[in-house]
Structure formats: C-alpha cells, structure tokens
Structure 1
C-alpha cells in the first residue's frame, strides 16, 4: 500500500502548496487520465484549490476519479481497499444523488482538530466528545453513515468508564446524551438523514461553502458551454476562465462534470475539445 504524506506536518503543508502551485500552471490535458486510483488521488489532492476563506482540507469527488481512471469498477475496487485499510474515508454529499467525496483519513482528523480548537473553553463534556468520536467510532465504523443506536453502543462503554472515574450519575447506567450528538451535528461532523431520523451521515466540517460552489460551478460551466454555437470549447481556452459562482477552480469542476457524464472530451488536431453531452 502506498504511503501518503500526513497533512498534519508543516513541511507536508508547504510541499502540498508547492505541488498545488506547480500543478495549476500545467494544463488539465497533461494530466487528465491516470493509470490507477492511487495516482489520481495523490495528484488531485496536490492540485486542490487553495482557498483562504472557509479553509477545508483537500477532498476529491468520486466523479473526478471516474473522469481520470477509465475503468469505474477499478476505481470502486481500489477505493474500497483504501477505505478498509483506513487510508481514506468516503462521504455522502447532498449536492447530488450519487455524489461522494473522498478525503484522506489524516486530512479528515486534522479537519476535526480545527473544530476542536475553535471549541476551546466550552464545557468538557462537549469538548471531549470529539476525542471519543476519533478514538472509538471512526476507527471501527468505516461506512459513510451510522445509526443512532450504534452511536449509543459504541460510546456507552467509553462514557461509562470516563464518568465512573468522575463519580458521575452515569455510573448507574445510561446512554449517550442527545446533547453529545447535537454538538457533533452543529460542528458539521454528523448530518441527520432526512429519510430516516435515526441515521446520520459522517460529514466534513466547514465544507458548506464548497458544496454550494460545486452546485453553482457545475451550472455556470454548463451554461457557458450551452451558449456557444456548438456547445463546445477548447480546453486550453476554457481553463483560463474564472468562475463567478464557485471558489473552486475550473479544473476541479471539469473533472467532476466529465466523470458524471455531463461533459465529454474529443481530441482535435489543435487540442482537446470539451463538449456538452447530448441527452
């Protein structure tokens, strides 16, 4: 298994920024396709747009992997292997029915640490719930969602030991308080499923503005191409466009739209052409 650099070290962050800056100077045509999922993940992670406001650790959309690795079955198989090996986590997004984000586990834990840092000074029982999540839930629950009952089961033994030592009333027996789960929801670590109120999705804190950008960026690029006579544009020209509605760059959206089937590519003597896919 390939070892990916941890995102928590300053040196790694500096190298990531350098890789990102270097990657943004090259054309998407130079690295549109990859031989395997691990290579695609590493490159896309390095090329994740650097955004000052609403900082979020790099994430990759599954649709972007589909655009770069032609065999979708291979992508799914390799993602599953990396997920089981606890290299990365997958997250269900509310931007589309089949939208999923991929984030390396080190990056995700670092993202949670940012939330914890902002909560310094609040009540201990609220503050410590993040530690219980990282140690006793994320390590064993690798799926995208979790049931309310599972949260109670996985945390109860931990909570009981902690509060027994503190002579808490929980030493008499009990369960995880709803306030603990509410803290995680408010922090953006969990989101409640609308269909089943007893189910939660694991989510990425601070990703809200980026999710809005994904939806709006898709619409802006499709609209831009649809207004052209043949609903197409040279990739080299399209990459130079600056989006008005999304903090994410054009390359990020093009990979997403190609992988989801909304756009397609055609090779021409003058370079790669991006076209709106016909219904």
Structure 2
C-alpha cells in the first residue's frame, strides 16, 4: 500500500470498510476455546471489524523490522475507521475468544491494548524461541496450550502448572523468551517478544507527528500538506500508522473542509 493511500478521507474509508461483503465461511471454521467448551463461529462476527483489522495490518511496515516483530495493531486505531466504539470493543472481544487475535498490554506508556493475529503471534514465538535456543518441547507446549487454548491477557502459576503442566524450570524459560512478563507474585502478562522495539518506534513516531502539527499555525494542517512533509527515517512505523493511532486516541480532530481533510491538534 502506497503512502498516498493514507487515510484518504477517513469518512469515505469508514463507509467502504463497513460495506465490504462478508468473507466465505469456509475460511473461518468453528473454534472451541478448550477451557469452558464455548464455541464461536468467526464468520458470524461482522465483516467490517475484520476488514478494518486487515486494512490496518496492511498499514504496518512489516519489512522494516526484518522479522523481529509481527504486525502489531494498537486497539484504538480501530476507532479511526469505525465510529461505534462499543461495537468495536465487543467484536474484538469476540475475535479474541474465537482465538483469531491475541491482545497484549505493552506497558504504562501505552494506555491501551495491542492486537496481533494469533497465527502471526504463534510464528513469532517459534522464531524467537529458536533464536534463544529455548527447548523445542517448551516451545511446542506453549504454542499448543497457552496460544491455542488460552484467551486471557494474563496467566497465573496455578494455571500454568496444573492446567498446562509446566514445571518451574519451564516457566523460567518462558520468562527468558519474553512470552511471559511479571505482573505480580505468581502472575504474568502473556507478552510479545521484542515488544520494546515496537514501543520505542511507536513513541518516537507519535511524538514526531504531533510535533509537526503543533508547530503549524493554529496547531492544524491539511492532511494533504502533512503527507508532503519529510518523515523521519528513524520513525519506522510511518505517518499512515501514526495517523490512525492519533485519531483513534482522540489526540487529533478531523474536520472536513473545501480544501480537504483538516487535522487539528486537540487541547491537552
């Protein structure tokens, strides 16, 4: 996707996404979460939510991270394209319970969850564990239990040991691989390895974009003019990614004008 496709009138984009036909049910089979026997049919989840996720997945510049990260979508980016936030949250929760996506808490700097497609997370975990020479048995056990069956964002020692049969030494390996990060005594966040790389790029890019707008007269700029500005090479996620993020986080207000979309920095 070219940079010129960036947001390109968000209101038209929202309309296009919300009217995209549903995908074939053959591509989204029933999934049983393996914990309480509840089944979800992924195809029943409204297609606009899934199409929006896939659109944002295309926005992520995966090639710039050379295999060190999977595609990471910030949850509130969805709000830049879908106006009904309650519905978005509900459908994302349905996708999480259907185990099509995983959600992660990425630290105090980002007051929201990030989303990674489950298949991408599984492949990323396998790659990172192999690089760190983590036991294949431990890797396979984590993939086939926690990734495949567990849908919460955190997990405790009792669940790991009693439900999934991990030993203390195996849990230590999971912490070493950064698929678990400490939340409290005997309690861990299920984590994204190399999340620090993402957060560094994320915070740098957000600051760069907001600074650009802040320096403009009246702290506002036409979207087309902003697209023409030189984007810092160190901000790997790109202007398009941060545009969706800042609008979804209510840091920027979009105003339709005769000259095009106006982006105005909100008062903080």
TM-score tier after normalising by the smaller chain length: 0.7 to 0.9
TM-score (ref. length: structure 1): 0.77
Shift in Å at residue 127 of structure 1? Answer: 3.5
Greater alpha carbon shift after TM alignment, 216-225 vs 235-244: 235-244
Alpha-carbon contact 2:9-2:261 (below 8 Å) kept: no
Equivalence map 1:20-31=2 (5 Å)? 22-30=1-9
Shift of 1:30: 4.8
2:207 match: 219
Range that drifts further, 207-216 or 257-266: 207-216
The answer to whether the 8 A contact 2:53-2:78 is kept is: yes
TM-superposed CA distance for 1:219, in Å, is 1.6
The structure 2 residue matched to 1:192, chosen from 182, 192, 217, is 182
Structure 1 segment 79-118 matched on structure 2, within 5 A: 79-96=92-109, 98-118=111-131
Superposed, 1:1-279 pairs within 5 Å as 22-30=1-9, 32-33=13-14, 34-35=17-18, 36-49=48-61, 50-53=63-66, 55-96=68-109, 98-120=111-133, 126-156=135-165, 176-177=167-168, 179-193=169-183, 196-240=184-228, 241-279=230-268
Alpha-carbon distance, 1:119 to partner: 3.5
Task: Indicate if the aligned counterparts of 1:191 and 1:201 stay in contact, CA closer than 8 A.
Answer: yes
- Indicate the SS of the match to 2:8: helix
CA distance in 1, matches of 2:222, 2:139: 47
Say which SS state the counterpart of residue 224 (structure 2) adopts: helix
Q: Secondary structure at the match of 2:104?
A: strand
- Matched residues in 2 for 1:237 and 1:53: separation? 30
Q: Contact between 1:266 and 1:273, CA under 8 Å: does it hold in 2?
A: yes
Distance in 2 of aligned mates of 1:118 and 1:221: 34
CA drift at 1:53: 4.1
The 3-state SS of whatever aligns with 1:255 is helix
CA contact (8 A) 2:106 2:195 kept: no
User: Displacement of 1:181 after TM fit?
Assistant: 2.0
- The count of aligned residue pairs is 233
What are the ranges of 5 or more consecutive residues in structure 2 without an aligned counterpart?
19-47
Q: How many Å separate the matches in 1 of 2:231 and 2:211?
A: 14
Q: Say what the alpha-carbon RMSD is for the aligned residues.
A: 2.0
Tell me the SS of whatever aligns to 1:239: helix
- State the 1:258 CA deviation: 0.8
Compute the TM-score of the two structures, normalised by the length of structure 2: 0.80
Q: Which has the larger radius of gyration?
A: 1
Inter-partner Cα distance in structure 1 for 2:73 and 2:192: 12
Q: Is the 8 A contact 2:59 2:240 kept in 1?
A: no
